[in-house]
Amino acid sequence: MTETTWTWARLDRAGLDLVQETERTLGADVVLVYAEGGPVAPAATRAGLRPAALDESQLECLRGVEAKVGGIAVAYQRA
The number of distinct structural domains making up the chain is: 1
Does the residue 1 lie in any domain? no
Q: Helices (DSSP H) in 1-79: which residue ranges?
A: 13-26, 56-69
The structure's pTM equals: 0.84
Q: Which domain holds residue 18?
A: 6-38+49-78
Does the residue 57 lie in any domain? yes
Does the residue 70 lie in any domain? yes
At 3-58, the pLDDT tens digits run 778 888 999 999 999 999 999 999 999 999 999 887 766 666 567 889 999 999 99
Nearest to 69 by CA among 61, 77, 58, 57: 61
Does the residue 71 lie in any domain? yes
Does the residue 58 lie in any domain? yes
